[in-house]
Amino acid sequence: MTTAALLDVATFIFVSVVILFCIVLLLSFTQRGATKSTNRRQFIRASIAALAIYLLHLLSRESINSFARWDCLRSDKGGKRPFGIESEEYKHPCYNDTAAVAEIEVDDLSLTPSSPMSLCSSSTTTNTYEQYISATRDCQGAKRYTCSLSEPCTPCEISRRDEFLSTWSRCQACSIRNNWGDCNFQDGQGPYCWKDGDMVEVVPCKICCTDNMPMFDKEGVCY
């Protein structure tokens, strides 16, 4: 069952329970011989219960949206970095190794080869970058370890970044080791990716790697 389906089920259950409480509440007011104080207590209890159910519903939706499965984090689906793997092909090109720092001149800063920094660091910018690309790519919302038809992945190409800005992050660096991003697609098994930014239609993933070069947006931020 997909995340959207789970949310629909949770919404249905929540609405059903609220309706049930409303019915019970109305019946309690129509009981013969019930005093005003009894009605008041029943109303307060029903209101507290309905509020608690509503809060639990919100928390369940938030937990489903943010939850990342361990099997997904450890996978290399669609070219993502498996959690805990720190090989060369998963290094972020916006991050400089310590050996390269000595060659970078930054105003008002005294740098040595033992002072790691980001490619875009300067006296006027405070952007910092992780040494390795994200291991959580396409794992939010309790997604599984494959780029399936029901849970397609985000394309890896740099040219698609602006199209999928909210979900896009780098995949493994393209190289001969991964056959320049061959996704090894198999019909019915995947990997499948979103066709475009509308995230409605699904197509086979074309490239499962990202060109290993730093890119800069209009604000000069490296990605």
Distance from the first to the final alpha carbon of the chain: 34
Same-domain pairing of 146 and 80: yes
Same-domain pairing of 40 and 72: no
Q: Mean pLDDT over all residues of the chain?
A: 77
Last residue of a domain, one of 13, 31, 66: 66
Q: Which domain holds residue 145?
A: 68-85+136-218
Distance (Å, whole) CA 194 – CA 204: 8
| Band (114; pLDDT cuts 50, 70, 90) | very low
Is the pLDDT confidence value at 46 over 50?
yes
- How many domains is the chain partitioned into structurally? 2
Same-domain pairing of 147 and 59: no
Over range 129-158, report the average pLDDT: 94
Same-domain pairing of 80 and 160: yes
Q: Which pairs count as long-range contacts for 128-133, CB under 8 Å and 24+ apart, including other chains?
A: 129/92, 129/94, 129/95, 129/222, 130/92, 130/95, 131/86, 131/91, 131/92, 131/95, 132/81, 132/86, 132/90, 132/91, 132/92, 133/80, 133/81, 133/90, 133/91, 133/92, 133/169, 133/170, 133/171, 133/172
- Segment 7-39, tens digit of pLDDT: 445 555 666 666 666 666 665 655 555 566 666
- The answer as to whether 16 is a domain residue is yes
Distance (Å, whole) CA 146 – CA 152: 8
